[in-house]
Amino acid sequence: MIQVAPSILSNDFSQFRGAVVGLAQGGADWIHFDVMDGQFVPPITFGAQLAADLRSATDLPFEAHLMTQTPERHFDAFIAAGCRRIIFHAEATVHAHRLAQSLRQQGIEAGLAINPATPAEAVFPILDELDLVLVMTVNPGWGGQALIHSCLEKVRQIRARTDLPIEVDGGIDPNTIRLAFDAGADTFVAGSFLAKATDVGRAIQELRDRCQS
């Protein structure tokens, strides 16, 4: 069973509560928060307060995708905000093993993300400490970009080494989801495709349907 984790990044920033309620009613499995610090990636988005304020909007689990330097500075705030999973970037720390351990010791799922320029091998040494690997299928920083096909080969390489959930993030729509699924991904972030949908429930179902048989 695949998991659909909509990103609210491409929604109207003044309408997040309605977007989250709609995604929950539409059958999403997770809500994905794209946290950007203006350093690891150029834009600044939002911090843990947004997740805290939206926590009452739905029972769906929240995941924070930290596109931030020194990601560990933000762990406590996102845990307190009610995030079940925290995903940080391999490129943003030299201590990914320790950071993943520290999340799990607090009962939080640990996800490690890699950029398009980072080889699959970067995650191999710490697979035992992770609950999820996130393979960026665009360069982080912006929604609405086209999927970079070479990233799917890394999904294959990681799938050959582990049964962990593998999430893909960037450029996922009904035309690309099957390629990522066939490469071994089972968890899918979708931002602009769902933000543009007139019927979000149908759009989520369309993503699921493309991964059938």
Among 30, 40, 65, 152, binds ligand DX5 (CB under 6 A): 65
CB of residue 51 to Zn ion, shortest distance in Å: 14
Q: Are strands 62-67 and 83-89 parallel, antiparallel or unpaired?
A: parallel
> What, of Zn ion, ligand DX5, none, does residue 69 touch, CB below 5 to 8 Å by kind?
none
Find the catalytic residue in 34, 131, 173, 186: 34
Which of positions 74-93 make contact with ligand DX5 (CB under 6 A)?
Answer: none
* Residue (86 or 105) nearer to Zn ion, CB: 86
Q: How many helices (H) and strands (E) does the chain have?
A: 8, 8
111 in contact with ligand DX5 (CB under 6 A): no
Number of residues that bind ligand DX5 (CB under 6 A): 21
- How many residues are there in the chain? 213
Whole-angstrom Cα distance, residue 163 to residue 132?
A: 9
Among 190, 200, 203, 204, binds ligand DX5 (CB under 6 A): 190
Residues that bind Zn ion (CB under 5 A): 34, 65, 169
Is 182 designated active site? no
Return the range that interacts with ligand DX5 (CB under 6 A); candidates 17-25, 140-148, 149-157, 203-211.
140-148
26 in contact with ligand DX5 (CB under 6 A): no
* Angle (CA) 116 5 151, round 5°: 20
**In whole angstroms, how far apart are CA 147 and each of 54, 138, 143?**
29, 6, 11
Question: Any alpha helices (H) in 27-88, and if so which ranges?
Answer: 48-54, 75-80
**In whole angstroms, how far apart are CA 102 and each of 34, 72, 76, 127?**
21, 9, 11, 15
187 in contact with ligand DX5 (CB under 6 A): no
Find the catalytic residue in 29, 131, 169, 173: 169
Is 169 designated active site? yes
* Residue (34 or 186) nearer to Zn ion, CB: 34
> What, of ligand DX5, Zn ion, none, does residue 201 touch, CB below 5 to 8 Å by kind?
none
Q: In what order do the strands lie in the sheet with 132-136?
A: 3-6, 187-190, 166-169, 132-136, 109-114, 83-89, 62-67, 31-36
Inter-residue contact 108 to 114 (CB < 8 Å): no
Q: Annotated active-site positions, please?
A: 34, 169
Positions touching ligand DX5 (CB under 6 A) are 7, 9-10, 32, 34, 65, 138, 140-141, 143-145, 169-172, 189-193
